[in-house]
Amino acid sequence: MSPFKPMAIRHTRNQERILEALQNQEQAISAQDLHGAMRQAGSRIGLATVYRALEALKLDGTVQMRTLSNGESLYSLAQEDRHHLTCLRCGESLPIEQCPVHELEKHLNDSHHFRIFYHTLEFFGLCDKCQVVSS
């Protein structure tokens, strides 16, 4: 057994507010939409503060970020690996359940002593509807 004990992560008040707001989301959300939802719920947090808090939470592995084909970043709690099929034309993103990289993740974690918080797997192409349009 390793003598190393991970330190407990201490979050700022704003980071805790961000985490609470993310817990109320059913799916990943952009920083701007998260800011809007928090403001609507009565928070006076600024957009720049939301971005800073999300960046800090991402770096400690609490929040995961996914970048869409249009460059927009979506944030969610880092609870499970997420995998998607994303249409380049309409932007629809379909979650997929299978994960072919769990064994690779374990191997990289062990062989490189690299602490992996999460991974994402995304395939880009055209959905059924957009394939019909392009034919």
Can you tell me the distance from the alpha carbon of 69 to that of 43, in angstroms, rounded to the nearest whole number?
30
Give the pLDDT mean for 38-53.
96
Work out the percent of the chain whose per-residue pLDDT is above 90: 44
**69-117 per-position pLDDT tens digit:** 788 999 999 876 678 898 889 988 888 888 878 888 888 888 998 888 8
Q: Across all residues in the chain, what is the average pLDDT? A: 85
Position 128 scores a pLDDT of 92
Instruction: With CA atoms as reference, report the closest residue to 99 among 126, 121, 131, 77.
Output: 121
For residue range 75-87, list pLDDT tens digits in order: 999 876 678 898 8
By CB atoms closer than 10 A (0-12, 13-18, 19+), residue 28 is buried
pLDDT, position 4: 33
Q: Is the pTM of this model over 0.85?
A: no
- Nearest CA to 82 out of 49, 120, 114 is that of 120
